[in-house]
Amino acid sequence: MHTREPDDLLSNPDEPGDRTRTADVSRGSAAPPPMQQGVYLMIPHETGDKNEPLLAGKPVVVGRDLPSDVCIPDPELSRRHARFTLLDNKVLVEDLGSKNGTFIGGRRITSDTIALSGEVMLNAKTIARITAFGVAVEAEKLASAAHWSGIIPPVDDDAPFFGTSPKMQALLHAIDRIADSQLTVLLHGETGTGKEEFAKLIHARGPRHRKQLVTVNCGGIPPSLIQSTFFGHERGSFTGAEKSHLGFFPAADGGTLFLDEIGELSHEAQATLLRVLETRSFSPVGSPREVTVDVRIVAATNRDLEAMVREGRFREDLLSRLGTPLVIPPLRERRDEISPLCQRFLARANKDHGKNVQGITSDAMLLLHAYDWPRNVRELRRAIDEVVVWKAPTLIRPQDLPTRVQAALPDPKGADVGGLKAELEQVEAQKIADALQQANGNRDDAAKALLVNPRTLRRRMKELGIETPKKKR
């Protein structure tokens, strides 16, 4: 028996194009192991990203060349540029007499401490980020750091996620009302919308949740084996029946039977199913005895069953038995789910494939929101899996996404995409304004504080309509 378990927040055009992970790993070698719990010094660079663990009381020196512990081949770095030391819930940062300086919050420092969610500028373009994995620090600071840097991190959560769009909330409300009943349920939705997840939800919220949920792919059953597959058979009842088989209906007795792709059943199979729905009884193949079962049916299809009835390809009486369908909206109509789904899919992909992709940039997320996902949630998960497996970047950026997604330019007229873009731009504009105010109108100093190239800052100020404040006397 087959069953299935129920940056553009200050984006920088001057940044190098591909930052796929090459440091300390030769081409063709095994991927580095996922990061363990701890505090890390993360330095993205065009020659390869560096992720160095920070151990309490043990200094880590960053510089251009040996004897530095972490070597970044950047001519603007000094040979021994800065030293990082983990002290409880903060990191001591010391400049080692570098030529171009070490900066925290736009201020050149000799020695200072930084939180476990902070950033340090080692020169005009090299950023060192302090990141904690599984360490007890102030959650709001970590969340704020991820938000301000425009990085959406993975979320390790296997629980199904359902969004807050009006259509989704209406569906969930209907499921809440029907789940506690014994009514047969018909789910209708495009391919990949997650019909099985909703079947699991109905089962979990219903009175049969302590019993088994049995899933059947109706499209994969040969017409000649419908009776045996649904109701089981006795040993020797036909050629090849070397032992007795229980069947899906008796296996689901007391629980729920999920009939996926019910629109693919033949007319004969539809008649067989209709009879058992009406009588709640059947006879296994090769057996004279009649068996009674107590099974709740949840069915699903991506086909227009009403149209199939008109065309004579689906029984009207069976459709009446299945009831009014609950419609699952496609992903393009529930775009608020895209970000949290991506976070969960990224965490699962890292775990499944032994990778360590740290997150998704806001630029890439805008494209993911803009694409229409014709194959819905299934296509989204596959896209994240492919990026993680084939490219394994430290961060997923627009150029890492499938070509079809890269071509999906964000539509400012789209309610959800436009809302996300507007929210990001509002945050970005406020960050720029604050930095300019603190820098007394000096755009170069503000650019250093924001960890971006001055040309990028000028471009974004123009695009966002931000004027340089007057300098205070």
> Cis before residue 67, ω within 30 degrees of 0?
yes
The pairing of beta strand 256-260 with beta strand 213-217: parallel
Q: Please give the Cα distance from 88 to 313 (Å, whole number).
A: 69
Residues facing residue 260 across a β-bridge: 217
Q: Please give the Cα distance from 434 to 469 (Å, whole number).
A: 10
Q: What pLDDT shows up at residue 155? A: 75
Q: What pLDDT shows up at residue 16? A: 36
Q: What pLDDT shows up at residue 423? A: 56
Q: What pLDDT shows up at residue 419? A: 52
Q: Judging by beta carbons within 10 Å of its beta carbon (0-12, 13-18, 19+), is residue 97 exposed, middle or buried?
A: exposed
Please name the residues in contact with 227: beta carbons below 8 A apart, sequence gap of 6 or more.
233, 272, 285
Question: pTM to 2 decimals?
Answer: 0.57
- pLDDT tens for the chain, 473 residues long, are 433 333 333 333 333 333 333 333 333 334 444 445 578 888 887 777 788 888 877 788 999 888 889 998 888 898 899 998 887 667 888 888 888 888 887 778 877 888 776 788 887 678 888 876 544 433 333 333 333 345 677 877 666 777 767 788 889 889 989 998 999 999 999 999 999 999 999 999 899 999 999 999 998 888 888 888 898 877 766 666 677 778 899 999 999 999 999 999 999 899 999 999 999 988 888 778 888 999 999 999 999 999 999 999 999 999 999 998 999 999 998 887 888 889 889 999 999 999 989 888 878 888 898 899 999 999 999 999 999 999 888 889 899 999 999 887 654 444 344 455 565 666 677 778 888 888 888 888 887 777 667 887 888 888 888 888 877 66
Q: What pLDDT shows up at residue 313? A: 95
Residues facing residue 53 across a β-bridge: 40
